[in-house]
Structure 1
Amino acid sequence: MLDKIFNPKSIAVIGASSIEGKVGHAIMKNLMAFGKNNPDNKIYPINPKYDEILGIKCYKSVLDVLPDNIDLAVITIPAKLIPNILEECGKKGIKGAVIISAGFSEVGNYELEEKVKSIAKKYNIRIIGPNCLGIINMHNRLNASFSKEYFKEGNITFISQSGAILTAILDIAPLLNLGFSKIVSLGNKIDIQESDLMEYLIHDDTTEVVVFYIEGLKDKKFIESAKKLAKIKPIIALKSGKTEAGAKAASSHTGSLAGDAQIYNAAFKKGKVLTVETFEELVNLMHVFSTQPLMKSNKIGIITNAGGFGVIAADSCKKYGLTIEEFEESTREELKKYLPPTSSISNPLDLIGDADTDRYKNALNIVKNDKNIDGMLVILTPQEMTKPLEVANVIVETKNKIKNEGIGKPIVASFVGGASIKGAKSYLRKNGVPAYISPENGVEVLSSSYKYNKMKIKEDNCDYLNSIKKELLKIKENYKDIVKNLLKNPNEYNSKEFLKIHGMNVPRKYLAKTIEEAEDYASKLDNIVMKISSPNIMHKSDAGCVIVKPKDIKEAFNTIMENGKKYLEKNRIKGVIDGVLIEEYIEGLEVIVGGKRDPVFGPVVMVGLGGVFVEVLKDVSFGIYPITKDYALDMLRELKSYKVLEGIRGRPKRDINFIVDIMIRLGVIMDIYPEIKEIDINPLFVKEDGKGGYVGDALIIVGK
Structure 2
Amino acid sequence: MDLKYMFYPRSVAVIGATNREGKVGYAIMKNLENFNGRVYPVNPKYDEVLGLKCYKSVLDIEDEIDLAIIVVPNVVVPQVLEECGKKGVKSAVIISAGFSEVGNYELEEKIKEIAKRYNIRIIGPNCLGIMNTHINLNATFAKVFPPKGGVSIISQSGAVLNAILDIAPLLNIGFSKVVSIGNKVDVQESDLMEYFLNDEDTKMVVLYIEGLKDKRFLNVAKKLSKKKPIIALKSGRTDVGKKAAKSHTGSLAGEDEIYEAVFKESGIVRAYTFEELVDLIHIFSTQPTINSNEIGIITNAGGFGVLAADSCVDYGMKLANFEDSTVETLKNILPKTATISNPLDIIGDATPERYKKVVDVLSKDKNVKGLLVILTPQEMTKPLEVAKSIIEVKTTHEDLKLKPLITSFVGGVSVKGAKSYLRKNGIPSYITPENGIKALSYLYKYSLLKVKEEYDEYVQKVREEFSKIKKENEETIKKLLSNPNEYNVKSVLKIYGFPVPEGYLVKSEDEAELYCKKLGKCVMKIVSPQILHKTDAKGVIIKPENPREAFRTLIENAKRYAEEKGIKDLKIDGVLVEEYIEKEKMEIIIGSKRDKIFGSVVMVGLGGVFVEVLKDVSFGISPITRDFAYEMLKSLKSYKVLEGVRGRPRKDIEFVVDCLIKIGVFMDIHEEIKEMDLNPVFVFNDGEGGCIGDAKIILE
Tell me the TM-score normalised to structure 2 length: 0.97
Retained in 2: the 8 A contact 1:268–1:274? yes
Retained in 2: the 8 A contact 1:306–1:353? yes
Task: Give the match for residue 419 of structure 2.
Answer: 425
Tell me which amino acid in the other structure corresponds to 1:449: L
Q: Which of residues 44, 55, 61 is equivalent to 1:59?
A: 55
Task: Give the match for residue 162 of structure 2.
Answer: 167
Describe the shift of the 1:419–1:569 C-alpha distance in structure 2 as closer, same or farther (beyond 3 A). closer
Tell me which amino acid in the other structure corresponds to 2:34: A
Task: Give the match for residue 592 of structure 2.
Answer: 595
Task: Give the match for residue 636 of structure 2.
Answer: 639
Q: Please state how far the C-alpha of 1:15 moved relative to its aligned partner.
A: 1.1
Partner secondary structure for residue 326 of structure 1: coil
1:550 aligns with 2:547: no
Q: Please state how far the C-alpha of 1:309 moved relative to its aligned partner.
A: 1.2
Q: Which of residues 485, 494, 510 is equivalent to 1:491?
A: 485
Task: Give the match for residue 256 of structure 1.
Answer: 251
Retained in 1: the 8 A contact 2:205–2:229? yes
1:365 aligns with 2:360: yes
Q: Please state how far the C-alpha of 1:482 moved relative to its aligned partner.
A: 1.0
Retained in 1: the 8 A contact 2:229–2:268? yes
Q: Please state how far the C-alpha of 1:460 moved relative to its aligned partner.
A: 4.0
1:624 aligns with 2:621: yes
1:45 aligns with 2:41: yes
How large is the RMSD of aligned CA atoms in angstroms? 1.4
Q: Please state how far the C-alpha of 1:612 moved relative to its aligned partner.
A: 6.7
Task: Give the match for residue 30 of structure 1.
Answer: 31
Retained in 1: the 8 A contact 2:395–2:401? no
1:10 aligns with 2:11: yes
1:699 aligns with 2:700: no
Aligned partners of 1:96 and 1:426: how far apart in 2?
Answer: 41
Q: Which of residues 667, 670, 679 is equivalent to 1:670?
A: 667
Tell me which amino acid in the other structure corresponds to 1:56: L
Partner secondary structure for residue 670 of structure 1: helix
The percent of aligned pairs where both chains have the same amino acid is 63
Task: Give the match for residue 303 of structure 2.
Answer: 308
Q: After alignment, is 416-425 or 168-177 more displaced?
A: 416-425
Task: String of CA shifts for 1:471-491, please: whole Å, max 9, x gaps.
Answer: 111111111111111111111
After TM superposition, the structure 1 = structure 2 runs for residues 301-380 of structure 1, keeping only pairs within 5 Å, are 301-380=296-375
After TM superposition, the structure 1 = structure 2 runs for residues 654-693 of structure 1, keeping only pairs within 5 Å, are 654-693=651-690
Task: Give the match for residue 577 of structure 1.
Answer: 572
Q: Please state how far the C-alpha of 1:615 moved relative to its aligned partner.
A: 3.0
1:559 aligns with 2:560: no
Task: Give the match for residue 130 of structure 1.
Answer: 125
Aligned partners of 2:432 and 2:165: how far apart in 1?
Answer: 24
1:511 aligns with 2:512: no
Tell me which amino acid in the other structure corresponds to 2:32: L
Partner secondary structure for residue 516 of structure 2: helix
Partner secondary structure for residue 32 of structure 1: coil
Tell me the TM-score normalised to structure 1 length: 0.97
Task: String of CA shifts for 1:2-39, please: whole Å, max 9, x gaps.
Answer: 111111111111111111111111111111111xxx3x
Describe the shift of the 1:405–1:448 C-alpha distance in structure 2 as closer, same or farther (beyond 3 A). closer
1:472 aligns with 2:466: yes
Retained in 2: the 8 A contact 1:157–1:211? yes
Task: Give the match for residue 520 of structure 1.
Answer: 514
Task: String of CA shifts for 1:536-595, please: whole Å, max 9, x gaps.
Answer: 211111122211111221211112112223333442333421111111112421100001
Query: Unpaired segments of 5 or more residues in structure 1?
Result: none
Task: String of CA shifts for 1:632-674, please: whole Å, max 9, x gaps.
Answer: 0100000011101011112221111111111111000000111
Q: Which runs of 4+ in 1 moved over 4 A?
A: none
Task: Give the match for residue 207 of structure 1.
Answer: 202
Aligned partners of 2:232 and 2:610: how far apart in 1?
Answer: 29
Task: Give the match for residue 216 of structure 2.
Answer: 221
Retained in 2: the 8 A contact 1:536–1:573? no
Q: Please state how far the C-alpha of 1:499 moved relative to its aligned partner.
A: 0.7
Partner secondary structure for residue 255 of structure 1: helix
Tell me which amino acid in the other structure corresponds to 2:335: P
Q: Which of residues 430, 435, 439 is equivalent to 1:441?
A: 435
Task: Give the match for residue 384 of structure 2.
Answer: 389
Q: Please state how far the C-alpha of 1:276 moved relative to its aligned partner.
A: 1.1
After TM superposition, the structure 1 = structure 2 runs for residues 222-237 of structure 1, keeping only pairs within 5 Å, are 222-237=217-232
Q: After alignment, is 469-478 or 197-206 more displaced?
A: 469-478
Q: Please state how far the C-alpha of 1:174 moved relative to its aligned partner.
A: 1.4
Tell me which amino acid in the other structure corresponds to 1:252: S
Task: Give the match for residue 481 of structure 1.
Answer: 475
Describe the shift of the 1:245–1:407 C-alpha distance in structure 2 as closer, same or farther (beyond 3 A). closer
Q: Please state how far the C-alpha of 1:397 moved relative to its aligned partner.
A: 2.1
Retained in 2: the 8 A contact 1:461–1:630? no
Query: Unpaired segments of 5 or more residues in structure 2?
Result: none
Aligned partners of 2:406 and 2:119: how far apart in 1?
Answer: 47
Tell me which amino acid in the other structure corresponds to 1:654: K
Partner secondary structure for residue 192 of structure 1: coil
Aligned partners of 1:264 and 1:651: how far apart in 2?
Answer: 35
Task: String of CA shifts for 1:432-491, please: whole Å, max 9, x gaps.
Answer: 211222212211111000110122123245022122112111111111111111111111
- Number of aligned residue pairs: give it: 696
Partner secondary structure for residue 73 of structure 1: strand
Partner secondary structure for residue 93 of structure 2: strand
Describe the shift of the 1:173–1:12 C-alpha distance in structure 2 as closer, same or farther (beyond 3 A). same
Aligned partners of 1:416 and 1:407: how far apart in 2?
Answer: 25
Task: Give the match for residue 274 of structure 1.
Answer: 269
